[in-house]
Structure 1
Amino acid sequence: MNISKEVKVGILGIIGLVLLYYGFNFLKGTDIFSSTREYKLTFKDVMGLEVSNTVSYNGVQVGRVASVTPNYEKDEVDVVVALKKEVTVTDQSEMILADDGLVGGKILVLKINPGQPLAANSLIKSKVQPSLLGSVTEALDPTMQKVDSLMSNLISLVVEFKHSGDALKVLLASATQTTTGLNGIVASNSKNLNTITGNAAQLTADLNRVVKDLDTQLKPILANANKFTDSLSTIQLASTMNKLDATIGEFQGIVAEINNGKGTIGKLTSNDSLYTNLNNTAESLNKLMVDLKENPKRYVHFSLFGRK
Structure 2
Amino acid sequence: MRNYSISYVTVGVFVTAMIVALIVTLTLIAGRTGPRDEYRVLFDNVTDLKYGTVVRYEGFPIGTVDKIVPVYENGKYRFGVMISVQKDWKFPADSKAGIRASSFLAAKTIDIGGGKSADLIAVGGDIPGTGAGDMFALMSGLAGRVGALLDTGVVPLIEQLKTSIKQLTETANSQIGGVGGDVRGLVANASAHLDTISASVTELTAGMQTNVDQLHKILSDGNVKAIDQILANLDRASLNADKTLAELNALSIEVNGVAQSIQAMVNRNAKNVDKSTADLEYILRAVSQNIDAITNNLEGTTRNMNEFSRLIRQNPGLLLGGGSPAADKGLTPVPGGQ
Normalized against structure 1, the TM-score is what?
Answer: 0.35
Larger Rg: 1
Normalized against structure 2, the TM-score is what?
Answer: 0.33
